[in-house]
Amino acid sequence: MTRFKLLTQLLTVSGFLFLPINNIAFANPINPYPEKIKEALVKYNIDESKITSQKTIRDFRNKRRIFGYDTYIWFEDCKGYLQIVQHRFGRVDQIYTIGECKFPGIESF
């Protein structure tokens, strides 16, 4: 095996090792508008103490421009989740639940 071929294989393998690390950091950004999420929870009288986890995903179009944020909230007392869809400047555009989670005034699917 030549040195060039060995070096090429080593660089290829090392590139794949760092690839998942970049994606993990990119996958769960901090929502820049948490106050809008809190306002929505207060508006619908949702008890924040029942929240078990929350995840925000950026909505990209053309891999360049952020169109908004999708926040998923899971609760300890129901199977399913609450989804809050925000505009890129934080405005709450849509809120709904999936699964068994039901809240008065929020559409369920």
Task: Tell me what pLDDT residue 5 has.
Answer: 59
pLDDT at 19 over 50: no
Quick: pLDDT tens for 25-81. Answer: 344 557 889 999 999 999 999 999 999 999 999 888 777 788 899 999 999 999 999
pLDDT at 93 over 90: yes
Q: Which residue has the higher pLDDT, 22 or 67?
A: 67
Task: Tell me what pLDDT residue 97 has.
Answer: 97
pTM score over 0.85: no
> What whole-number distance in Å separates Cα of residue 20 and Cα of residue 88?
26
Task: Tell me what pLDDT residue 60 has.
Answer: 82
Residue type, 65: R
| CA atoms in the 13 A half-sphere facing the CB of 78 | 17
